[in-house]
Amino acid sequence: MTSATRGPRDLALRLRAAASAARNAFADPVPRTPFTDSGSIGWHVTAEVGGAAKAAAAPAPSGPSAAEDGTHPVTMVAAVSSPVPPLALRVGVSAGPRLRSLLAPEWSQVDLDRRTWTSALDGLDLVLLEGTGGTVDGWGDGGPLTELLAATTAQSVPVALWVTDDTAPAGDWLAQVATLGASTTAVRDALAAATGREVQLWAPAAQPRAAGLAREDATTTRRGGALLVVDGLSRLTDDAPLRPVVEGLGKLPAQQTPLLRITGKSSAVTLPSALGERQVGYAPWAASGGALADADTLLDLSATSPAGAWTTLAAAVAQTPVVGTPVLGDLPADVDALVPRVEEATALRSEVVARLNQPELVAREGLLLQRAVLAGHTAAHRVREVAGAAGLEAPAINAPTISAVVPTNRTHELDNVLANLGRQTHPAVELVLVLHGLDVDDVDLQRRATEAGVQHLSIVHADADLTLGACMNLGVDAASGRYVAKMDDDNIYGPHYLADLLSAFATTDAGIVGKWAHYVWLRSTGAVVLRYPDSENRYERRIQGGSMLFDGDVVRRIRFSDIPRAVDSDILDRSLAEDVRIYSADRYSYVSVRGSDRHSHTWTVSDSTFLTATGRLLFYGDPTEHVSL
């Protein structure tokens, strides 16, 4: 099956294959393999769609390639250039596979269980227990747990309990747990009332490294279908929370609305027949990752069980839109505000159909959801909350500095440069303005920059006879940021341009990110063209020259060649030769502007160059509002 034929039916087929393979793989009594990375211990978990879901030792996994059958594994990437570093803590964790895999990249993690914990306590900074079903799963009647807690007390190792379902635990052992937290307000309040102690709210979270966006396949043919993921059916006392979904989906073909049920305890409640006929798989939670990134939309089932909220957040970080019913679950408020909720069955069906048929709607909603998750609901945020509540040092997630290097030899474009940088939402931006043969009053330029909202400006004067590559190197040498952007003086950059590109480092193994799928505005006719639409959210060999964001270490090591043109393709080729991955992110927040005089550009091609099979003529007029999400 070719990528061009993928759609809802193909998603259902891949889910069936994934679920079958995942059940076999996770039947292994030891389904995870420890790996070491820079002296830390963690777990690398792989979930595949259409292939076996299995654990594998991997010190620094790269983004996966398409399998021969057209399916796409989803790997927990290393995110080597991530803006969020792991905590310098060694933590023993007793938790289910979902929470273990989400937290493992965020600190040095050691698994604890009732049989081997005695040899694992040495050197731990913290012990984290996951509470489910009123206890800590796998620790029996509490006797072994009491022994563990006594040992941690003797060794002065703090212990935190994170209740992730809807049942507050009870037992004498609770008194030995120093820090209590819950993922829902209801359980937090119940546990606080029962113990008379402060209980933290640690909401559900997502792991960007497992977003499923580090891909090789074409974005525009990847998605298809409205996915349902039923997790925690055993928590329901009846099927009432599922009935609005049944009524809403009743008339939609089953192949357009596949259902994946997550393995768990037996349930007294059975799926309504209208949902049961849509079930294409019964698999561990890890196997749902690729399906979430492949769907046009996810139906929010967070009201059916606390586990549902974690699935919805995993979809959101994969840029998959979510729709739901008025029965609210336990989603963070800022994420829930982005989920359309409808009361009538026909309205729910309409919302689903809209996302099955409108890829622009899917892309825009998905990006907004991902921003909300990355802003405050990732595993990195939660481990800092847990560690901080336990009294450990947990440095906040601070915005790294991005140095935007902009070479220009056009005085009339200076205000455009200042406006582009002044509107950026990323809070730590340095503009390195390389004046290529321009005689400009630096004091006046500083004043204009301040008025435009540019907080940090570094001015570099370059002789007119220097090449573009030499000018870029002068800018790189003057840049103080951890990341370095190459931006043009005449393009349009939306407010979230730098912030969104930076986020791509958290979901991929790239050392350079940018946009190969991008908009071009042909000023001669007003035409707006989307170039390379299939190259969104995937690894590429090329990205547009005015849209590059480098890991600072990469660009300072490789540097630009001292050449007058083709500097972009040159540095990309040399980076690839050094095994630096290049990632093309979403298509928004950036427009390459082509003036009426093609000779005013470094690349002096005619407008017809952009009107080929690799471009889509979308509309005529100023594209700024359209691209500025």
The more confidently predicted of residues 22 and 224 is 224
pLDDT band (50, 70, 90) for residue 358: very high
Whether residue 68 has pLDDT greater than 70? no
Q: Structure tokens of 610?
A: 């952009």
d(CA 365, CA 344): 22
Q: Structure tokens of 120?
A: 């694992």
Sheet holding 590-594, edge to edge: 492-493, 590-594, 518-522, 527-531, 615-620
pLDDT band (50, 70, 90) for residue 29: very low
pLDDT digits (tens, 9 = 90+) for 104-114: 999 999 999 99
* Helical axes 468-478 vs 567-577, angle rounded to 10°: 60
d(CA 107, CA 63): 21
Point out the least confidently predicted range of 3-7, 86-90, 325-329, 488-492.
3-7
Q: Output the pTM of the full model.
A: 0.88
Whether residue 455 has pLDDT greater than 90? yes
Q: Structure tokens of 64?
A: 């996966």
pLDDT band (50, 70, 90) for residue 19: low
Average pLDDT over residues 538-561: 98
Q: Structure tokens of 61?
A: 């996994």
Contacts of 127 (CB under 8 A, 6+ apart): 91, 92, 93, 94, 112, 121, 148, 152, 157, 158, 159, 160
Instruction: Choose among 244, 247, 207, 259: nearest CA to 103.
Output: 207
Q: Which pLDDT value is given to residue 602?
A: 54
- Between the ranges 9-18, 303-312, 362-371, where is the mean pLDDT highest? 362-371
Contacts of 428 (CB under 8 A, 6+ apart): 398, 399, 400, 401, 402, 481
Q: Which pLDDT value is given to residue 596?
A: 72
Whether residue 558 has pLDDT greater than 50? yes
Measuring CA to CA, how many Å separate 342 from each of 265, 302, 326? Answer: 31, 15, 6
Share of the chain above pLDDT 90, in %: 70
Cβ-in-10-Å burial (0-12, 13-18, 19+) of 393 comes to exposed
Average pLDDT over residues 208-219: 86
Cβ-in-10-Å burial (0-12, 13-18, 19+) of 542 comes to middle
Domain covering 402-627 assigned CATH 3.90.550.10 in the classification: yes
Whether residue 360 has pLDDT greater than 80? yes
Burial 495-533 (b: 16+ CB within 10 A, else e): bbbbbbbbbbbbbbbbbbbbbbbbbbbbeeeebbbbbbb
The more confidently predicted of residues 410 and 75 is 410
Instruction: Choose among 583, 597, 625: nearest CA to 82.
Output: 583
Q: Which pLDDT value is given to residue 600?
A: 55
* Helical axes 359-376 vs 497-507, angle rounded to 10°: 80
Q: Which pLDDT value is given to residue 14?
A: 62
Whether residue 274 has pLDDT greater than 80? yes
d(CA 483, CA 491): 20
Please provide the size of the chain in residues.
629
Residue spans per domain, the chain: 31-206, 211-381, 402-627
Average pLDDT over residues 605-625: 88
CB 572 within 8 A of CB 582: yes
Q: Which pLDDT value is given to residue 232?
A: 77
Give residue 437's Cα distance to chain centre.
Answer: 42
Give residue 103's Cα distance to chain centre.
Answer: 15
Q: Structure tokens of 389?
A: 């509540």
Which residue's structure tokens are 């048929």? 357
Give residue 498's Cα distance to chain centre.
Answer: 15
The CATH H-level superfamily of 211-381 is: Glycogen Phosphorylase B; (3.40.50.2000)
pLDDT band (50, 70, 90) for residue 284: confident
Segment (H or E) for 262: strand 259-262
Question: Angle at Cα 320 formed by Cα 286 and Cα 49, nearest 5°?
Answer: 35
d(CA 371, CA 211): 13
Burial 443-470 (b: 16+ CB within 10 A, else e): eebeebbeebebebbeebebeeebbbbb
CB 588 within 8 A of CB 486: no
| CA-based torsion, 538, 286, 282, 51: positive or negative | positive
d(CA 278, CA 352): 15
Strand ranges (E), 2-150: 34-37, 40-43, 45-49, 54-55, 72-75, 90-94, 108-111, 126-132, 135-136
Average pLDDT over residues 198-206: 97
Query: In angstroms, how far is the first alpha carbon of the chain from the final one?
Result: 35
Q: Which pLDDT value is given to residue 485?
A: 99
What's the DSSP call for residue 541?
Answer: S
Average pLDDT over residues 609-625: 92
